[in-house]
Amino acid sequence: MEKTYSVVFYSKTLVEPVKKMKDFLRSKINWYNSCNSEAHITICEFTIEESQFSSIKQKLSKISDGFVPFQVSLNHFDSFPNSGAFFIGVTEDSEKNLVPIMKKIHETLKFLKLKKSDNPHLSIGRRLTPENLKIASELFTTIDLNFLCNEIVLREFDPIVKQFFVIDSFPFGNNPEPEFVQGSLF
């Protein structure tokens, strides 16, 4: 049987403050896409047969071992007007740390049909109308959130609840692979 999964950056420290923002927005515009989703930064999403599951977990575990933990700062609100997404953006320094990890995971899972995210952001709402995007941008003007990025998380989609739920995490092992340097014999 096929199941849908996502790989994300996730921190329990973000869940409550972001939930409060989403609930406040919901009190102003009613239900919207992502209003019940826990705070996360998406890396990719894919659908696989259950038989592939343990292989994917092994790959994620192996790749995570090479990553080094770092602080992530989210310091501004922004939107993708074409898709109606309103989100919290990361600082430039955080982006420089997150993007290479995202690309490495995309590369590791390239044999799957991935829905990839190349732009690290934490969605507050998706598929908002232009009017609701305007309301969101007026409600939320300043933000300062931080978390220690020390793992990637695997989530499974529950088709009944229509939400992703954390099922496993892969801690960063702080064991970066040494860069291969071509040596010279003489």
Q: What is the pLDDT of residues 28-81, one digit of tens each?
A: 999 998 999 999 999 999 999 999 999 999 999 999 999 999 999 999 999 998
Q: What residues contact residue 60 under an 8 Å CB cut-off, 6+ apart?
A: 7, 105, 108, 152, 154, 170
The pTM of the full predicted model, rounded to 2 decimals, is 0.91
The pLDDT confidence band at residue 183, using thresholds 50, 70 and 90, is low
- What is the sign, positive or negative, of the torsion defined by CA atoms of 159, 6, 79, 17? positive
Give the pLDDT confidence score for residue 176 in this predicted structure: 73
Q: What is the pLDDT of residues 78-99, one digit of tens each?
A: 999 899 999 999 999 999 999 9
